[in-house]
Amino acid sequence: MRVFVNAAPVEVDAGTDVRGALRAHDPELEARVTAGSAYVTDARAIALPPEAVLSEGAILRVVLRAHRGGRDDDADA
């Protein structure tokens, strides 16, 4: 079945979950989601868990979390 990850069409087997679609598209994105440095939303911007099973035509968007090294400047505000 065809799903879309960041607007790119990806062919996956029926019953594939979010994690599997990411792996098929870009294993690095799957690793970032697993590590918590990114998350996935559907076409409506609703966050999806990595184990969510996809349907034909699903639209996924991977959102990278901002990461700042060092001290959090807002901590003392």
Kindly report the three-state secondary structure assignment for every residue of the chain: CEEEECCEEEECCCCCEHHHHHHHHCHHHHHHHHHCCEEEECCCCCEECCCCECCCCCEEEEEECCCCCCCCHHHHC
Boundaries of domain holding 46: 2-65
**Looking at the domain assignment, is residue 32 inside a domain?**
yes
Total domains in the chain come to: 1
pLDDT of residue 66: 83
pLDDT digits (tens, 9 = 90+) for 13-27: 999 999 999 999 999
d(CA 18, CA 6): 12
Give 16 or 74, the one with higher predicted confidence.
Answer: 16
pLDDT digits (tens, 9 = 90+) for 47-62: 999 999 999 999 999 9
CATH number at residue 45: 3.10.20.30
* Mean pLDDT, the chain, whole residue set: 91
**Looking at the domain assignment, is residue 31 inside a domain?**
yes
N-to-C CA span, the chain: 50
Give 41 or 73, the one with higher predicted confidence.
Answer: 41
